[in-house]
Structures are given as C-alpha cells and as structure tokens.
Structure 1
Amino acid sequence: MTFRVIDTETCCLDAGVVEIASLDLSETGISNVMSDLVNPGRPIGLDAMAIHHITEEMVADKPRIARVIGRYQGSAYYVAHNAAFDGRMLPEMNGAWICTLKLARKLYPGIKYGNQYLRYALNLQVTPPAGLYPHRALYDFYVTAALLMKIQQDSGWSAEEMVAISNEATLLSSLKFGKYRGQPLAQIALQDPDYLHWLLANLRDLSADLRYSLNFYPNGADSAEQTHAASPAGE
C-alpha cells in the first residue's frame, strides 16, 4: 500500500499555493519525490513570507498550480499534517485524506502537535534535503512521513481506520485568534458565550473542528468540566 505524503505553502492562511511537494511512502520506503514552486497570481503576505521565506521573486516565472497539479494526482491516499488545510488548498485531489495531526492527537494525548514538536517529542528519524528548513513543503513532508510511520507502528491502524479518525470532529481546547486568542474555549464559554455564538454566526470559513467546538462549548457552559465523547485536543 502506498501513501502520498503531501504539503503546501501558501500566500496567506486561506489561499494561494506558492509551493507543493510530495513523496510516496510504502513498505519499501520513500519514492517518487516531487516538488514545485508555484506562481499564485497574487501577492504573498508578509506574515507568510516570514514563515516559509518564499518571495515573490522566487515564484515570478513559475507555473500556476493548474499546470503542475496533474502529476500529484492519482493516489488512493493523501497524507498531510492538518489535512483539512491542504485538502482545501488542493481540491483537485480525488483520494482519501489522512491527517497526521488528528491521528497524533488521538494517539499521543497531552502534548503539543506541531510537526517539529512531534519530530523531537517522538524522536522521529528524519533526513530532509540539505539546505532547506522547516516550513518549506519539500522539508516538512519528510517529517510528516516519519510521523506517519511512527503512528502506524504504535497504533496498528489500517489505512481505513486512519481515514475514519481523520474525518472525526475534534473538540479543540483553545481559540487561535480574536480577542480571546490562546484562551481555553471552556473558559470563554463560561465568561462570554455570546462571543462564541457571534463567531458561529458571522465567520463562514471556519474549519469543521472549530465549528464543532464552538457549537459544543456554549452548550456545556454550565459544566465546563463535563466529560464528552470527543476529548479536547491539546495545542
């Protein structure tokens, strides 16, 4: 069985691919490594540039995503760390998505779940290409591939089980933006439940996990410590 581990870098949080890279992972190891810089047809945000260091000059003469996406298609399984994001950036993919972020949250509770944090917390053996660095797609997918191998080893989950877990709604523990950024959702629900209702009513581009969490916490405001079938995910 082959998994296509894939990663993108973008102009901003919600659009404009500037880099795409993938590798195929199977029982025999890593193969079919591919990467492309992409002209997004729009400015690259400074916040994004400060993370991945891909400049507008680097992509000025590169093709648009529609010209290169075909060679990344054709896999039964795509793997990404936060697959909801990469899947939204790559709607042309027809395979099932596996999210190593959600798998790690379920398998390794109580830690942080950034790719680089997990690399060291789980002692992943990673040998990315020389001269690259974290937050470049051609670097990050090596970490994701090593994480997937570790998850398979520790869990014994089949591909179908990993897809099912990846599709489960995750109860998030804190808010990542806005006036309560970084604060526990349970606490916000107790102090200002109307704010969570306002987010639901006014923000359309919410992830499925965040929408699920915003719906849950106001309803649980009278008992923030109640047990729920979906355990809050650590940050």
Structure 2
Amino acid sequence: MRQIFFDTETTGLAAEGGDRIIEIGCVEMINRQLTGNNLHLYVNPQRASHEDALRVHGLTEAFLSDKPLFAQIADQLLDFLAGAELVIHNAPFDIGFVNAEMKRLGRSPITDTVGSVRDTLLMARDLFPGKANSLDALCRRLEVDNSNRKLHGALLDAELLAEVFIRLTRGQDSLVMDDSGDSAQSAEFKLAALDLSSFALPILQASEAELLAHERVLGELDKASGGKRIWQAA
C-alpha cells in the first residue's frame, strides 16, 4: 500500500476566508516502510500570514516572496499524490485548504485524485478518549522524539506523523530498518526444536554444613509461627 503522510502550513485558519497554503510536506511510505521519496514545497501565498500563524510556522512574507504560486506547483503535487492514501492529522483542515486552492484554479477536489484519506486525529480520539490528541501530545504519549520541533514545519510534521501512525497502528515500534534491510513484517524467526535428552545435567548435593544451616532457619520459622508451619507436616 502506498501512503502519503501529508501536512500544510497556512497564512491563517480560514481557507474560505482567503487564507492560503504556504508550505506542503509529503512523506511516502510503502508497505509500512519509508521510501525517502518525499515532496517538500514552499508556496507564495501573495499575502501576509496572520500574526498568530507566523508565530507558529515562522515563514515570513519576505521568505515566501520568490517561491512559486500554487498554480505553478499544482500538477507536481497532484502527480505525487495520485492514487495514494493520504494520512493527515485533522484531515478536514488540510483537505479544506487544498480544495480551496484547487477551486481557485477551476479544478476538481483533491479527493478525486487520491485513493482515500485517513484522519489520525479521529484514530487517536478513538484510542485515547478524553485525552489531548494533538501531534505533540501523541509524540509524548507514544515516545516519538519531537525535540527538533521548535516551529511547525510541514515536512517535519509529516515525518513525525509517520512515526506516530506506526505506533498508533501497533504494526511495529519504529520506521527504522535493520542493517539487513528486512522489514519488520518479514522478520519471522523459526527456532529448531532442541532435544534436551542428550544433555547430562549435574545434580548438586547440599553439604552437611548447608543442611544444618537450613534446619536452623526452619527451626526459627517454626518458632516464629508458633509451631504452625505446614510444609513439613507429617
């Protein structure tokens, strides 16, 4: 199965109110293994970010001024996502922004291009009802290292989400492959039956001093229990 862990950064929270996408991160996984075939795009939104959003992602209007418009990267994005399952944390937010951009271009919704969409926020709420289920909260709960997440970044967040997803679905503990390159799915070990009858096991006898010491301990236990020990009852 081909899955794309998908995240965006935006100028604000209102896709239908004119806020725009400024960064897209896509991390590819096939059969529960990262491929390294990722897509990372910055987009010129032709507007400034809201102050609160800027504090979250740190992508200034000056930095984005020479980046391509969404119209210029739309085909590249659609080609990369075609037929894949999108895995997104709080999917309605990111899908809403992508669809708003597609609508401006007179093109069909992103769901017409991808195979399906899976929302890890809904998965987490089912698994951890009543608890905080933000990406940061899940990283802490599932012991995914997010120490590099000083600011939100679409590619970094997509990479973290991939680790969180693996642990949420309990298929394996990590995306890291061993040195042989075998996936966790194929790592099955079969041990041959061992015939123990061929081994001569030594019998260790207690010495006289050890037997006397043992009897003294039993006597002390018998005294402490008021003569109620039952393991040597006749």
**Native 8 Å contact 2:47 2:61 kept in 1:** no
Q: Which residue of 2 aligns with 1:138?
A: 155
Deviation, 1:68, is: 1.2
SS in 1 for 2:34: strand
| Offset, 1:138 | 1.4
Question: For 2:63, which of 53, 58, 63 is the aligned residue?
Answer: 58
Shift of 1:2: 1.1
Bigger relative contact order, structure 1 or 2 (CA pairs below 8 A, ≥6 apart): 2
Gaps of 5+ in 1: 155-235
TM-score normalised by L of structure 1:
0.60
CA deviation after TM superposition for structure 1 residue 66, in Å: 1.8
| TM-score normalized with structure 2 length | 0.60
Distance 2:97 2:46 in 1: 14
| Residues 83 and 97, structure 1, Cα contact 8 Å, conserved in 2 | yes
Distance in 2 of aligned mates of 1:83 and 1:28: 20
Deviation at residue 108 of structure 1 after TM alignment: 1.9
- Report whether the alignment pairs 1:37 with 2:42: yes
Letter of the aligned partner of 1:54 in structure 2?
L
Number of equivalences: 151
Q: Which moved more, 1:4-13 or 1:94-103?
A: 94-103
Counterpart in the other structure of 1:75: 83
2:9 corresponds in structure 1 to 9
| Matches of 1:5 and 1:28, distance apart in 2 | 12
- Letter of the structure 1 residue corresponding to residue 44 of structure 2: N
- The amino acid that maps onto 2:67 is K
1:1-235 → structure 2 map (5 Å cutoff): 1-14=1-14, 15-27=19-31, 29-31=33-35, 32-73=37-78, 74-91=82-99, 92-93=109-110, 94-95=113-114, 96-124=116-144, 133-153=150-170
Rounded to whole Å, the distance in 2 between the matches of 1:26 and 1:150 is 16
Q: Structure 2: which amino acid aligns with 1:152?
A: T
| Backbone CA RMSD of aligned residues | 1.9
Match of 2:220 in 1: none
Structure with the largest fraction of helix: 1
SS in 2 for 1:153: coil
Q: Deviations over 1:29-61 (max 9, x none)?
A: 212111111101222111110111000011001
Contact 2:48–2:60 (Cα < 8 Å) also in 1 = no
Distance (whole Å) between structure 2 residues aligned to residue 125 and residue 43 of structure 1 = 32
Task: State, as a whole percentage, how many aligned pairs show the same letter.
Answer: 28
Please give the alpha-carbon distance, in whole angstroms, between the structure 1 residues aligned to 2:72 and 2:163: 29
CA contact (8 A) 1:3 1:75 kept: no
Runs of at least 5 residues in structure 2 that lack an aligned partner in the other structure: 100-108, 172-234
What letter corresponds to residue 119 of structure 1 in structure 2? C
Q: Residue 113 of structure 1: CA displacement?
A: 0.7
Q: Deviations over 1:123-177 (max 9, x none)?
A: 1356x9x7x64411111111111121112227xxxxxxxxxxxxxxxxxxxxxxx
For residues 124 and 148 of structure 1, what CA distance do their matches in structure 2 show?
10
